[in-house]
Structure 1
Amino acid sequence: MISADALKAAWEGLLGPMELTQHMLTSHVVSVDGDEATVNYHLEALHHHSALGESEDVNTWIFYGRGSHGLRRSSGSWKVASVRLAVVHSVGNKNMPAAIMAAEGSSASSGN
């Protein structure tokens, strides 16, 4: 099971440097079996970072997928036990997270 702080830090590390993100989840289906639960959903995720260039092929990445969160009840509250995401279609720069990290790394090393 991942702690809330670790999950938050992982998402902030990936998404934090992006100028704009919007994630829309829909069609939730929740299944509960005792102290275990699964939440399945559909996702559209928009990511934009204008510093990568003017073209949407470079500065924008949109993907569509299916996600699933496994939950476990512990000490009377639900905790995230697993997260899965299957991308079914994407448009734009699917290498955007790596491109942003590379750009930030070169800015840091050049003193900008």
Structure 2
Amino acid sequence: MSIPVQNPYHLLTYAWDQLYEADEVAVTAEPADSLLDLLARVLVQGTTHVLKRGLARDYVPEVALTGRLRSKLPLSESIRQQTLLTARGWCAFDELRHDVSVNRLLKSTLHYLLTA
């Protein structure tokens, strides 16, 4: 008696409390012959869903020398480097970016699979 490949996938989504993810990926649409076929289908459909929804974004802390004052001003650094004489100063701020760990993981996985 053989166990269908989709069963461990549904068990894992249940164990990791990710049942909503199981509904987004149609693993029962076509029968998968092997685990690799199933994982490839999950990766393709999951990536398609993420790209339609939009990539994750998060605030990344930055420190930059700028002519526009934003957020926190580390004055000690600006005074030490005498940047205030040139109407510039160091600012510490949070920038909303797509360059977050989840997106980097997805990108590196897809790059590895394409080049392997």
TM-score, structure 1 normalization: 0.28
Give the number of the structure whose residues are more often strand, by fraction. Answer: 1
